[in-house]
Amino acid sequence: MAETPKLRLYNTLTRTKEDFVPLDPANVRMYVCGPTVYDFAHIGNARPVIIFDVLFRLLRHLYGEKHVTYVRNVTDIDDKINQRAFDRWTRKRPLLDEVKALTDITAAQYEADVAALGNLPPTHAPRATDFVCNGSQPTDMVRVIGRLVDRGFAYAAEGHVLFHVPSMSAYGRLSRRPLDDMIAGARVEVAPYKKDPMDFVLWKPSDPATEPGWDSPWGFGRPGWHIECSAMAGALLGQTFDIHAGGIDLIFPHHENEIAQTCCAFGVDKMASVWMHNGFLQVEGQKMSKSAGNFFTIQDVLKDWPGEVVRLNMLKTHYRQPIDWTVRGLEESRKTLDEFHTNGSAPEGGSPKEFIDALADDLNLPKALAVLHRYRKEERYADFNSAIQLLGLPTVADLRGRATIRFRASGVLTGVDSDSVEQSVSKRLAARRAKNFAESDRIRDELLAMGIQLKDGKDPVTGEPVTTWEVKR
């Protein structure tokens, strides 16, 4: 029997790479902070989803699919969402129902976007609003806040409930920031009812006329942001679990405050054994922002590039490093996938040990991709296909089952209707099969006049005609 590779992960909490030892090998548990569904997700939001989907796949490979639980939450209540819901509210239904109607749309689009990028669905995708006060769950936000108050770590003041940071001596151990930096980084609200400037909100009052809320022991109100994840993770994974992951921007204050809430509410010394964080994403060397004109939603990018190209482009950089999102990089990823998909099909059952060893070394994706290229060069197609599936990328067989035509854009397509182009290419393929070469040439010339260049070839396995297309330079 093959030896199971040793999984090593970089732990932000200890700043070291450590051997991963699950609390219970029969129930490996991972929590990843998901989206705030105020609006459609941007391309930066796609990075943690893709990276930690690969980790999910690896954990399932190592421990068995039935022995891994993955929770990725949805934040569907915050002040931006509340304001947007209020602005569209017709008062024909409760404001909280308006919030749900709004976030149902954005959450559904998010799920569609990340599925198009090749991600597996998580085991659980809890919505924050279902865990505010829910007696059917093992715990909820109101109960966690109540425990913090009862244990002396939080206090009520003017309709608010605040976590008292000085009450936890170990506060700051994740981010390791000096107090002044933490105060600046938390952008703390100065309020006369606070005992300490660092104290953060667990519960805040709502105006029933303009804001959604729930009844609680502290009055009608709504939860703070940080308490959401403590409650959802506690309910679905337990008070302590194996891996907590998210973007590097969440280390402070969000993850720091999660640790404080969970440890103090439940009397445990840790919330998660391993904390993992992916690096920032820039666009063409600049910070992504709407004002800079380089802000792209996942939907925007998927209009111009296949999901597998976007996914591979995210996987070429080590997850802890910053990534520069460029058209050139996407073109290179497209070219790489074109090369990958010229391989012959192979039966299931590959054992890509070197590839898995690379992934098991703190998700060393650049090294894993180098091994993948070597498998292809050595014509180890069974290992190649098993490895590519672990990355969540399609094999040749996947593509052949999905469509005969494969979209291969060589740049960002502005104003090009890819669906219309593919329909024309499909008609041309039908004309070629019927030996109607006049119609085939007419469609080719029509597309060429639109700036679309075709390339005819054959599927390397079936010998069937295949046509790819790109924007002519």
Percent of the chain with pLDDT over 90: 73
What's the pLDDT at 343? 61
Interval 262-278 mean pLDDT: 98
Taking only Cα atoms into account, the Rg of the chain, rounded to an integer number of angstroms, comes to: 25
CA dihedral 296, 290, 77, 161 (to 10 degrees): 140
Contact between residue 323 and residue 285 where contact means Cβ atoms under 8 Å apart: no
Q: What is the mean pLDDT of residues 193-214?
A: 95
* Residue, of 427 and 274, whose pLDDT is higher: 274
**So what's the pLDDT on residue 411?**
42
The pLDDT mean for the chain works out to 89
Could you tell me the pLDDT band of residue 473, with boundaries at 50, 70 and 90? very low
Structure tokens at 324: 């520069």
Report whether pLDDT(245) > 80: yes
Per-residue model confidence as pLDDT tens digits over 434-469: 888 888 888 887 888 777 888 887 655 456 677 877
For 77-130, what is each residue's pLDDT tens digit? 999 999 999 999 999 999 999 999 999 999 999 999 999 999 999 999 999 999
User: 452, 335 in Cβ contact below 8 A?
Assistant: no
pLDDT at residue 307, as a whole number: 96
Under the banding of pLDDT at 50, 70 and 90, the label for residue 294 is: confident
Name which of 59, 64, 73, 74 is nearest 31 in CA terms.
73
Mean pLDDT for 384-400 is 86
Q: What is the predicted pLDDT for the residue at 142?
A: 98
How wide is the angle at C-alpha 308 spanned by C-alphas 332 and 385, nearest 5°?
A: 95
Q: Which residues pair with 281 in a beta bridge?
A: 323
- pLDDT tens, residue by residue, 151-172: 999 999 999 999 999 999 999 9
**What does the pLDDT average to over 380-387?**
92
Of 321, 363, 315, 366, the closest CA to residue 10 belongs to 363
Listed in sequence order, the residues at least 6 apart from 319 whose beta carbon sits closer than 8 Å to its beta carbon are: 47, 51, 278, 279, 363, 365
pLDDT at 400: 57
Looking at the DSSP assignment, which residues form a beta bridge with residue 469? 454
Rounded to the nearest 10 degrees, the angle between the axes of helix 256-266 and helix 141-150 is 70
Segment holding 162, helix H or strand E: strand 160-163
Give residue 188's pLDDT: 60
pLDDT band at 192 (very low <50, low <70, confident <90, very high): confident
Sheet holding 272-278, edge to edge: 68-72, 28-32, 241-247, 272-278
pTM of the predicted structure, to 2 decimals:
0.84
Burial class (CB in 10 A: 0-12, 13-18, 19+), 374: middle
Parallel, antiparallel, or unpaired for β 28-32 and 241-247?
Answer: parallel
Residues in the chain, total: 473
Residue identified by tokens 């039966």 is: 347
